[in-house]
Structure 1
Amino acid sequence: MPEKEIIEPPVQPVSPNMANYEQEYKSFRWEQVLDELSGFPGREGLNIAHEAVDRHAVGKKGAKVALRWIAENGTSREFTYNELKQETDRFANVLVKLGIQKGDVVCTLTGRIPELYITALGTLKNGSVYCPLFSIYGPEPIYQRLSKGKAKVLVTTETLYRKKVAGLMDRLEHLKYVLLTDVEKEQNDHIRSLPKLMGRAKSSFKVVATAPEDRALLHFTSGTTGMPKGVVHVHQAALTHYITGKYVLDFHPDDRFWCTADPGWVTGTSYGILAPLMHGITNIVVEAEFDARLWYSILEEQKVTVWYTAPTAIRRLMRMDIDVRKEYDLRALRLILSVGEPLNPEAVRWAQKTLGMPILDNWWQTETGGIMIANYPSMPVRPGSMGKPLPGIKAAIITPDNKEAEPALINTPGDSGHLALKAGWPSMFRGYLDEHERYVKCFANSWYLTGDLASRDEDGYFWFVGRADDIIKTAGHMVGPFEVENILMEHPAVAEAAVIGKPDPMMGELVKAFVTLKSNFEATEELNLEIKGFARERLGPAVAPKEIEFTDELPKTRSGKIMRRLLRDQEREKVEK
């Protein structure tokens, strides 16, 4: 069990929306959330885009800036809620003109440009299903997703179309239209100019009456092998988007929010688009990719109050020799949150020292649709902990020995097991596209099995142990890679670490670490031995890595998760040779 290190929450300039976690958790009911949303007249339906845009545009927030887009060249463009309503209405009318109906899939393949946000919201207004794709994908991953999703429309740029999509058109039998965001001339009946279509479309649209269980979002998971899984979410997910924006991200009316996630990832949709707009605040969108000084400048110049980012980005900032408080005015910033991979305790401590506040880690998955376990602004932070379950979410550590029976709960503090969530929350995925059996296998009776191993301490904080398939079995011991990585990160030379089990005839597996160093350290045998000794002293000889390999970069998915499976496969290939 991790030591009880506690960082008290900083005094906030505004009172947190959830002042007392325990009280709110006991009294919370999902039905209450609908009272804070508008719904359709008569409460006969629910549409995410209506809650995110229209209800603000027709109210007091019509003239408020909804989206502030900062282009790669530094120029900016703003959309008020009124303007965003008009633009998304135009896009919905474009879809109607093209014959795209309720339930049809519309995909985007772009970077962070305004057209992506307009497409996403306009698609939902039409009752169609929105599906984002990473612009970094090559032709084959794009084909797999467009084909499996039976996409009818793809919105992309001319360059991306020419390089990655044009050669696929003969294979995509369901794809009717490609809408190019940056050309004025129509190519043919199927390759169309989005600006031209938008220019001819009406700026008013009656949102299609969607029911809470109607399909709204399709996200493809980024696996390292095999075909991607299509994860289906419905309009009722809006309740989770809204309440996590209220309790976890702690949105207040004057907030300026920046989510750095790529829109191709579920975080970039749930929290880069939907949650902030549902709260009627200003959403900052930055087209450029990571650059430490640019990011600090954005935080300063845009007076960002709530910042949601990823562990990979935080660890890159930690490697930089920048005196942040001296060089940048970040007084507006009151909350920093992280998601993607578990956040190492060292990163939480770094933020407390460097930025004047801890980073609040939270946990969720593509399948959960929104944040499930989190650290909250009013709650003490335990560095390395995932936090506590969202009100309305029942989380447990279980042993799912028999999937037909109710699983046994592990109630002993510190004992690890499978992290599970009681099924039935609003943003729970409703299926894997065309893979019902695979979906069913994710559940043990009434519990969703997350595939993660975790423990819970005596105060109800959850602690990540590792992915079930990442656990290392070495000489009779079960070692969670995250535990080892956390200790390695505490060495002053280590910037990032990834730990795997390497096949070994004597031990079954031995613990091996891949380490990237901070810029002012050199990879030497002496440093290698020093880090090994540091780990042995902290972890003991059974858990500490037997091998350490220095590397310039760790392999990561597009969403920033370390690909331990790829590292394991490489090691197995070496052993077999």
Structure 2
Amino acid sequence: MPEEIVITSHPVHNLPDYESSYHSFSWQKEEQYLTGLPGNKGLNIAYEAVDRHAAGKLANTLALRCIRKDRSTRDFTYTDLQRLSARFANVLVNLGIKKGEKVFALTGRIPELYIAALGTFKVTAVFCPLFSAFGPEPVFQRLSRGDAKVLVTTRALFEKKVAPLLDRLPLLQFILLTDEEVVGNNKVLSLQGLMQAASDEFLIPATNPGDPALLHFTSGTTGMPKGALHVHHAVLTHYVTGKYVLDFQPGDIFWCTADPGWVTGTSYGIIAPLVNGITNVVDEEDFDAARWFSILEEQKVNIWYTAPTAIRRLMRMNIRPREEYKLQFLRLVGSVGEPLHAEAVLWGEEKLGLPVLDNWWQTETGGIMIANYPSLLVKPGSMGKPLPGIEAAIAEITDKDINILTAPGTQGHLVLKKGWPSMFCAYLHEDERYQKCFRGEWYITGDLAKRDADGYYWFVGRADDIIKTSGHMVGPFEVESILMEHTTVAEAAVIGKPDPVIGEMVKAFIVLKQGFTGNENVQQDIIAYARKKLGAAVAPKEIAFVSELPKTRSGKILRRLLKARELGLPEGDTSTLEQF
């Protein structure tokens, strides 16, 4: 095991003594640092993130800096965000959007995305961001299953990915185009025009902490994408994790590289930095190593939150960051999305002068649950320790029971005791599926882990076969469904194949229809079709043609067996195998 690392770059931390803070922690006490809506009218994310700061000493503080692809910037103070989000809220009210209705966004990381999120929170509607890289079918699935009433997007994305779907989306009432100056027809409208006509004053209505605020889709392995619903009370988790895990200090400049289409890009790319009153940097461009390091230098970033995929890409490049760039302001680097190998933690220590601090959470948890903290020893490769206020455990789970395992080093299911503020409140339209996530007072994460004698958690693997590729959560079913639409495909099964750069690549095993031969031309045609429908990030990068797929006697495809044979691993129990 790699040697433990002591962080000494910033002697004063918000969590100077983990053990005492963990045992004395109270969510109620932390909530006192939030002000709540005036007149005791509840708790609203947008008020805590923007309006309360705009009404105080942070009014003219830089809240959001958006870096365009050409490196020009657009800045917003907390007062700017208050007024612009109020305009968007009034736009929604003028369109007749009511509490709990769904407002979707399909854009790149442009200012309108962030303003739309905050404005949606203000009217107590539900905000759902989508990856702009999604193909038409994933977009349709989410808009349809999410009961979308409003979609904020660009002209190009609308024409390419949404316009062909309109006949299949009867509930979608308004498309607001961010780059269209003409107001448009009754359905496709100019967001610019609507914003200009709207008032920049808006009174946030009474908001119950349990009112829905956020919808994020996460792919499963046995069905279509699941819509995890989160409430306004989640802002307390975002505040606490920003303060204690990311160690936000007054005047900090923070950069989260995640797109808001991924839950990290909303929880920590929008809400957490703003509710903590610091400056949030956003880059519109995709990954580019030189660009990223120059942004860290030019923007004098203090805290950088990114993903293992990006870290691994940087590790493969012949760059000496501390010698080639001025990174003296950087004091914390965090990572989330996939398990971070010890080598990556040590790379950070060597190349950046800071270990990369891994942390763990899920779409369902809404915020960081287990983390490495700047005030604690770092065990490279470990997930770290639970957030104060979070009770984690390792458990043995049966169909009906749960048995908590206490012996150090014992492998089992990672479970969390219910009750933290950002715990998802539902899978949209799937109550039975939601209830299956719990055994009594415990939430079952679906991940396998172990806890050592010092209380550090170590990720072991996933209990199902979900695929994590380049920060995307990809469920085999939705990929297989698209592959099956191809004229040559009879059956399809998808697995994640380890890749040193993107975590896992999507690989498909395909049985062709009679009369077709699995040659290179057919292979490329299937891949091209999948990319067009799903987007390049989700579509398979490799295809293998097989004569049969392994199945149980009930007809369920055994993806785990495909993966075991692909990687030369033990096949495990094959007693239910029908044939292969």
TM above 0.5, yes or no, is yes
| 2:118 paired residue number | 121
Select 2:447's aligned residue among 443, 452, 458. 452
Q: Is the 8 A contact 2:465 2:559 kept in 1?
A: no
Select 2:265's aligned residue among 263, 268, 291. 268
Q: CA deviation at 1:402?
A: 5.0
Q: CA deviation at 1:374?
A: 0.3
Equivalent-residue separation in structure 1 for 2:68 and 2:235 (angstroms): 29
* Aligned-partner residue type, residue 28 of structure 1: F
Q: CA deviation at 1:171?
A: 1.0
* Aligned-partner residue type, residue 431 of structure 1: A
CA deviation string 1:164-209 (max 9, x = no partner): 0001111111110000000101231100000000000001100121
Q: CA deviation at 1:251?
A: 0.4
- What does 1:186-265 correspond to in 2, within 5 Å? 186-223=183-220, 226-265=223-262
Equivalent-residue separation in structure 2 for 1:470 and 1:63 (angstroms): 48
Q: SS state of the match for residue 385, structure 1? A: coil
Equivalent-residue separation in structure 2 for 1:48 and 1:433 (angstroms): 20
TM-score (norm 2): 0.82
Select 1:391's aligned residue among 372, 385, 388. 388
Select 1:440's aligned residue among 435, 440, 455. 435
CA deviation string 1:186-244 (max 9, x = no partner): 23110000000000000110012110000000000134663100000001101100000
Please say if 1:99 is aligned against 2:93.
Answer: no
- What does 1:40-439 correspond to in 2, within 5 Å? 40-223=37-220, 226-401=223-398, 403=400, 405=401, 407-439=402-434
Equivalent-residue separation in structure 2 for 1:569 and 1:73 (angstroms): 45
Q: SS state of the match for residue 94, structure 1? A: helix
Change (3 A) 1:401 1:313: same
* Aligned-partner residue type, residue 461 of structure 1: Y
Change (3 A) 1:149 1:6: same
Equivalent-residue separation in structure 2 for 1:393 and 1:513 (angstroms): 33
Equivalent-residue separation in structure 2 for 1:148 and 1:348 (angstroms): 39
Change (3 A) 1:337 1:80: same
| 1:463 paired residue number | 458
Q: CA deviation at 1:469?
A: 2.7
- What does 1:488-567 correspond to in 2, within 5 Å? 514=498, 516=500
Equivalent-residue separation in structure 1 for 2:312 and 2:459 (angstroms): 18
Equivalent-residue separation in structure 2 for 1:436 and 1:334 (angstroms): 43
Q: Is the 8 A contact 2:89 2:119 kept in 1?
A: yes
Equivalent-residue separation in structure 1 for 2:257 and 2:272 (angstroms): 14
Equivalent-residue separation in structure 2 for 1:365 and 1:118 (angstroms): 25
Please say if 1:5 is aligned against 2:28.
Answer: no
Structure 1: segments with no counterpart, 5+ residues: 472-480, 483-511, 519-554
The 4+ residue runs of structure 1 with deviation greater than 6 A are 565-568, 570-577
| 1:32 paired residue number | 29
CA deviation string 1:394-447 (max 9, x = no partner): 0000112253x4x22111111100100001111100010111111111111110
Q: CA deviation at 1:10?
A: 2.5
Q: Is the 8 A contact 1:91 1:198 kept in 2?
A: yes
* Aligned-partner residue type, residue 74 of structure 1: R
Equivalent-residue separation in structure 2 for 1:517 and 1:184 (angstroms): 41
Change (3 A) 1:428 1:39: same
Change (3 A) 1:375 1:573: closer
CA deviation string 1:107-150 (max 9, x = no partner): 00001000000000000001100000111111111111111111
Q: Is the 8 A contact 2:465 2:560 kept in 1?
A: no
Equivalent-residue separation in structure 2 for 1:468 and 1:397 (angstroms): 13
Q: CA deviation at 1:41?
A: 2.4
Equivalent-residue separation in structure 2 for 1:139 and 1:381 (angstroms): 43
Q: Is the 8 A contact 1:10 1:357 kept in 2?
A: no
| 2:15 paired residue number | 18
Q: SS state of the match for residue 316, structure 1? A: helix
Equivalent-residue separation in structure 2 for 1:566 and 1:265 (angstroms): 25
Q: Is the 8 A contact 2:63 2:78 kept in 1?
A: yes
Change (3 A) 1:559 1:163: closer
Q: Is the 8 A contact 2:152 2:175 kept in 1?
A: yes
CA RMSD of aligned residues (A): 2.8
* Aligned-partner residue type, residue 10 of structure 1: T
Q: Is the 8 A contact 1:262 1:559 kept in 2?
A: no
Equivalent-residue separation in structure 1 for 2:55 and 2:442 (angstroms): 41
Equivalent-residue separation in structure 2 for 1:73 and 1:151 (angstroms): 33
* Aligned-partner residue type, residue 87 of structure 2: R
Equivalent-residue separation in structure 2 for 1:558 and 1:259 (angstroms): 20
| 1:494 paired residue number | none
Q: SS state of the match for residue 233, structure 2? A: helix
Structure 2: segments with no counterpart, 5+ residues: 469-495, 503-533, 543-557, 569-578
Q: CA deviation at 1:559?
A: 9.8
* Aligned-partner residue type, residue 409 of structure 1: I
Q: CA deviation at 1:516?
A: 4.8
Q: SS state of the match for residue 37, structure 1? A: coil
TM-score (norm 1): 0.82
Q: SS state of the match for residue 41, structure 1? A: coil
Q: Is the 8 A contact 2:50 2:275 kept in 1?
A: yes
CA deviation string 1:72-91 (max 9, x = no partner): 01110100000110000000
Q: CA deviation at 1:95?
A: 0.3
- Percent identity of equivalent pairs: 60
Q: SS state of the match for residue 43, structure 1? A: coil
Change (3 A) 1:329 1:556: farther
Equivalent-residue separation in structure 2 for 1:573 and 1:284 (angstroms): 41
Q: Is the 8 A contact 2:239 2:276 kept in 1?
A: yes
| 2:511 paired residue number | none
* Aligned-partner residue type, residue 7 of structure 1: I
CA deviation string 1:346-380 (max 9, x = no partner): 00011100100101100000000000000001001
* Aligned-partner residue type, residue 109 of structure 1: L
| 1:531 paired residue number | none
Equivalent-residue separation in structure 2 for 1:97 and 1:25 (angstroms): 46
Equivalent-residue separation in structure 2 for 1:558 and 1:123 (angstroms): 28
